[in-house]
Each structure stands twice: as C-alpha cells, then as structure tokens.
C-alpha cells in the first residue's frame, strides 16, 4: 500500500492504478472498525482497486463538538488498510485539503435540513464540501459509504446528482449496510467514548428501534411507537434524544404514517457526552 500526503503524489498514484482497472474510493475519518473494513471488502469484491482516505475533516464539526478528541490512530489504521489490500492511502493534512484562503462551501438544501442537519448546524455543508473535493481529487469510478450515516449518504447522492459528478467520475455511489456488534449496537468510531455502563445501555438503542418498527408494522400509530421508543431510551439511561422519527428514506422528510414510499426510522440520542446515531428500514 502506498501512502500519499500531497495532491500531486495522489494524482500520480491514482493514474497508475486507473491503468489497471476501476478505482474505488472509501472515504473515512480513521479510527477504523469492521464497518470501514467492510467498505473496502465490498469495493474489492466489485473488482476495484481501492483508494482509502483518512482525513478528520474540521469543517464537519461544530464549535462545541469532538474535533480535538476525535480518535486518531494512523499507524494502526494504516496496518488494517494494508492487510485489506488497499492500494493507496490518501492522508492529507488540513493545509493540503484546505489551502490558505479556501472559501468554497457546498450546501445541499432539503435532504440536509432535518435530523442531523438540524441538530448539527453546518455539519452536512462540511461533509458535502470535503466529499466533493475527495471525488475531484481521486476521480473514482465508484465510492462506498456506510448506511449507518443514512442522511449523509442521501446528501452525498443528491450533491453528486446535482453537480453532475457521475461524468467523468463517480459513476456509482454504494451504500453498504451497517455493521453491528453482537448485541446489535451499530459500529462507530465514537463507541469507544462510552464507559462500560454506557456501553451496556447503548445496546437498548437498536432493540428499542426494532420494537418501534415492529409496532408500526403491526398498526400502532407512528407517534405512539416513537413516544415508547423515546421513553425506553430515557429509561435505559440515555440523557437526551436529538431526534427519533420516521422519514421518507430518499427525501428525509418526516412522515406521520407508513405509506407507499420506503420509510426509515432515524434516531440520534446522547449517552453522557457521546452522541449515537442509528437508522433502520420499515418493512
């Protein structure tokens, strides 16, 4: 695996890869877990050479969020990616990604407005801006993202469509199903912030979500199922709930009753200072 830190070397490395077949991009912020490694495996299973990026993107963190505390483990991450057969690791520093005077912002309205967009103002502008840059830098044939960040995936898909990024690159953006711990908790780099007690309580999140989805599928009104979900989380020790809603899976508009469009249950809740998110399909 070749590790590159400057745009010039990245371009050279990717051009040689492209000569041998399709190139896949797996963007990450590091602190890798099985969810990330599954993205790499999926990319390789599609016959692509993988460029993985590790960049803790300051523009997607709010002023009081965990940018400084966000886990950074470059040596360990690099070993894991190399073992998975990644061809190129793109690991720019902040000055390489955002040179002096950088002043462009990509804002995807609509899909960004609710849920994490409302509870983390500016977050999706930061995500869209860096992902657009990563697409332009690597010019991958395909890119893979975890479905755990369902709204992020919707924002990226909308941006790629609106900005015509599919030609000459990013022909396909794949969402890969969430990888879970044995007790159902969605894998996340932030799970390591949890104390032993919080980690135990965290497993209530997927269980309560499944119960809410089963209730809705069984005819319980959405508002009642969501109220029980919120009550279960608070009873289990969650300190607050940013949102717990059923939404149109594509537009991310909240929906009050199941209908013809695919729906997704989306939750963000806090255990102490750790914010956990999860989502599951209805039906």
Query: Which listed residue (125, 147, 149, 198) binds ligand PAF by CB under 6 A?
Result: 149
CB nearer ligand PAF, residue 127 or residue 282 = 127
**Window contacting ligand PAF (CB under 6 A); options: 5-13, 22-30, 163-171, 250-258:** 22-30
Contact 150, 57 (CB under 8 A): no
For residue 247, give the 3-state DSSP assignment: strand
Both ends of the chain: CA-CA distance in Å?
Answer: 41
Active site residue 36: yes
Q: Where are the beta strands (DSSP E) in 74-187?
A: 88-90, 142-146, 172-176
CB nearer ligand PAF, residue 152 or residue 204 = 152
Using alpha carbons, list the distances in angstroms from residue 200 to 194, 226, 232, 238.
Answer: 9, 22, 14, 11
Verify binding: residue 202, ligand PAF, rule CB under 6 A.
no
CB neighbour list of residue 104: distance below 8 Å, 6 or more residues apart: 129
Verify binding: residue 28, ligand PAF, rule CB under 6 A.
yes
Query: Which listed residue (37, 50, 86, 127) binds ligand PAF by CB under 6 A?
Result: 127
Verify binding: residue 27, ligand PAF, rule CB under 6 A.
yes
- Count of chain residues binding ligand PAF (CB under 6 A): 10
For the bound state, the minimum distance from the C-beta of residue 111 to ligand PAF, rounded and expressed in Å, comes to 15
Query: Which listed residue (38, 57, 114, 129) binds ligand PAF by CB under 6 A?
Result: 57
For residue 170, give the 3-state DSSP assignment: coil
Q: Which residues are catalytic?
A: 36
């Amino acid at each position: 695996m070749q590790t590159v830190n400057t745009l010039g070397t990245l371009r050279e490395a990717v051009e040689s890869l492209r000569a041998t077949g399709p190139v896949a991009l797996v963007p990450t912020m590091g602190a890798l877990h099985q969810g990330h490694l599954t993205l790499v495996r999926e990319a390789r299973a599609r016959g692509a050479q993988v460029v993985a990026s590790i960049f803790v993107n300051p523009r997607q963190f709010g002023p009081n969020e965990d940018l400084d505390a966000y886990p950074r483990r470059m040596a360990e991450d690099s070993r894991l990616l190399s073992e998975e057969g990644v061809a190129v690791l793109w690991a720019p520093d902040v000055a390489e990604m955002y040179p002096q005077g950088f002043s462009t912002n990509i804002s995807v309205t609509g899909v960004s407005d609710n849920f994490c967009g409302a509870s983390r103002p500016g977050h999706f502008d930061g995500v869209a801006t860096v992902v657009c840059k990563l697409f332009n830098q690597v010019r991958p044939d395909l890119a893979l993202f975890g479905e755990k960040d369902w709204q992020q995936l919707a924002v990226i898909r909308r941006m790629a469509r609106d900005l015509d990024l599919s030609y000459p690159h990013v022909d396909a953006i794949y969402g890969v199903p969430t990888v879970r711990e044995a007790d159902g908790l969605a894998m996340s780099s932030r799970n390591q912030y949890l104390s032993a007690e919080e980690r135990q309580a965290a497993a209530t999140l997927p269980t309560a979500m499944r119960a809410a989805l089963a209730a809705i599928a069984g005819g319980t009104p959405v508002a009642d199922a969501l109220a029980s979900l919120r009550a279960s989380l608070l009873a289990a020790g969650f300190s607050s709930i940013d949102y717990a809603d059923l939404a149109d899976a594509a537009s991310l508009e909240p929906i009050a009753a199941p209908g013809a469009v695919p729906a997704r249950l989306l939750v963000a809740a806090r255990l102490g200072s750790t914010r956990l998110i999860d989502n599951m399909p209805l039906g």
